[in-house]
Chains A and B, each alone.
With several copies, the nearest count.
Chain A
Amino acid sequence: MKVRVLFFAQARESAGSASIELVLPESSRVADALAALARDYPALESLWPHLAVALNGRLVPRGADLTEGAELALLPPVSGG
């Protein structure tokens, strides 16, 4: 299965990319995607404890199921306003 991964702010700068496509085994969960990203993007390491994760625009726990074509966003601590 394929998911689209979006990186924002520090995550975007550390990953060197705003958006990538990630290919995962069928029936993967959010945690599986994060494990793959941690392997592919070691520069994100210090950020992981601070990241929230959104699936198709909603915050999800790491155990949430992924679906084909889903949009997974890595969200550093927010600082709008």
Chain B
Amino acid sequence: MAELLEGPIPVERLLAEATRPDCGAVTLFLGTTRDRHEGRKVVRLHYEAYRPMAIAALEKIEADTVGSFAVASCRIVHRLGEVPPAEASVAVVVAAAHRAAAFDACRWAMNEIKSTAPIWKKELYEDGSGGWIEGAKLE
């Protein structure tokens, strides 16, 4: 049940939903906006997505994560629109019986998001200009 949303990611709710009495480990990854990139000051990021395909891609990652690792759940939420510095653009939450699988799965899911979800990031600079981030060609 992946989500794309505009506005802050409800991390506390995601953690509360992930925590289960049959699991001993929860891992959370947050990708946050950095205020510098390659020497330039970044005022904010702008994200856009091909929404139905992005939701399908994120839900496939959630399912593949649960299918490939010894984890009980994986939830992905990606923010769209403008994301100011220090705010999260993406959250991945994994719950597992044990921590090793929780770490492995969370890291793998995050890598998959970067390479398979039709989502694009543009940096916006102080002078009003912007630049799309060079990403990964979908295959």
Contacts and interface: CB of A to CB of B under 8 A. Distances in A.
State yes or no: do A and B touch (Cβ within 8 Å).
yes
Interface of A: 6, 8-10, 12, 50, 52, 54, 57-59, 73, 75-81
B136 A78 contact: yes
Contact of A78 (B31, B52, B110, B115): B115
Interface of B: 31, 47-50, 52-54, 56, 78, 89-90, 110, 113-122, 132-139
Contacts, number: 83
B114 A54 contact: no
Given A57-B52, A73-B50, A79 B138 contact: no
B136 A77 contact: yes
Contacts of B137: 50, 52, 77
Given A52-B138, A52-B139, A54-B53, A76 B114 contact: no
A77 B134 contact: yes
Contacts of B56: 57
A81 B53 contact: no
A9 B116 contact: no
A78 B132 contact: no
Contacts of A9: 48, 120, 122, 132
A54 B31 contact: no
